[in-house]
A and B are shown apart, each in its own frame.
Chain A
Amino acid sequence: EVQLVESGGGLVKPGGSLRLSCAASGFTFNDAWMKWVRQAPGKGLEWIGRIKSKANGGTTDHAAPVQGRFTISRDDSKNTLFLQMNSLKVEDTAVYYCAYYRDSSAYHVDHWGQGTLVTVSS
């Protein structure tokens, strides 16, 4: 069974940093393309970024609002996806989801974590 479990959320002051983790199991993680999506309370979905499998270059793409502040990375030896968030702003307050959406052969899947809440407030 595919499982994605996010952790690392919590309360942080503006300007602070947090590192979210997404522990994956039940699939071949090193073959997976992964993404982060967030949702502010009562608002819509926002795409944060994605990371390809190393077989496809392991490259990342980040959305403009977080470019230069957030960094997506992965540790395939630990089946874990990360989101490093720096210079946090009040508007970064949201539930953060990790998702596994395709593999290196372009086979599409759809698995999401339960989300972790990040609150940025003084």
Chain B
Amino acid sequence: QAVVTQEPSLTVSPGGTVTLTCGSSTGAVTSTHYPYWFQQKPGQAPRTLIYDTSNRHSWTPARFSGSLLGGKAALALSGAQPEDEAEYYCLLSYTGVGVFGGGTKLTVL
């Protein structure tokens, strides 16, 4: 099974910008991996922020954006808010089989 890698932890200042990345052990991440990004806060179920690389759900704040960057999937957060402190997971699809990354703990400090 492929291994999906994320930064274990990142810190961003309130109002600042940060980019989380998602890499694949099989090579470059492309749109055919249909990258998803999830946010999870303690004690809660995950919530999807981004699907199919760059599509936001209606509830996804505009400050979050998804893209492909340097052979990885990327989640950019511009104008971080205290409520954005959470664990973020990416999910890649390998011909229908999903694999989550290990998650990035984002601290807003």
CA distance A44 to B46 in the complex (A): 11
Contact for A108 among B55, B87, B96, CB less than 8 A: B55
Using known A-B contacts A101-B48, A108-B55, A112-B46, determine if residue A46 contacts B100 with beta carbons closer than 8 Å.
Answer: yes
Q: Which residue of B lies closest to A101 (CB)?
A: B48
Q: Which label, helix, strand, loop or mixed, suits the secondary structure of the B interface?
A: strand
In the assembled complex, A65 has its CB within 8 A of some CB on chain B? yes
Task: Please measure, in the bound complex, the distance between the C-alpha atom of A92 and the C-alpha atom of B95, giving whole angstroms.
Answer: 24
Residues of B within 8 A of A112 (CB): 45-47
The interface size of chain B toward A, counting residues with CB under 8 Å, comes to 22
Q: Is the interface of A mostly helix, strand, loop or mixed?
A: strand
Count, chain A residues at interface, CB 8 A: 21
Give B48 Cβ to nearest chain A Cβ, in Å. Answer: 4
Point out the residues of chain B lying under 8 angstroms from A61, CB to CB.
Answer: 96-98
B89 CB–A CB distance under 8 Å? yes
Interface 1/0 per residue, A54-65 and B, CB below 8 Å: 000000011111
Given contact pairs A63-B1, A110-B57, A35 touches B98 in the complex (Cβ within 8 A)? yes
In the complex, whether B106 has a CB less than 8 A from a CB of chain A is no
Enumerate chain A residues within 8 angstroms of B48, measured Cβ to Cβ: 101, 108, 110
C-alpha gap A65/B99 in the complex (Å)? 11
29 of the cross-chain contacts (CB-CB < 8 Å) are A37-B100, A44-B87, A44-B89, A44-B101, A44-B102, A44-B103, A45-B38, A45-B46, A45-B89, A45-B91, A45-B100, A45-B103, A47-B91, A47-B97, A47-B99, A47-B100, A50-B96, A61-B97, A62-B97, A63-B97, A64-B1, A64-B97, A65-B1, A101-B51, A108-B52, A108-B55, A110-B57, A112-B47, A114-B45
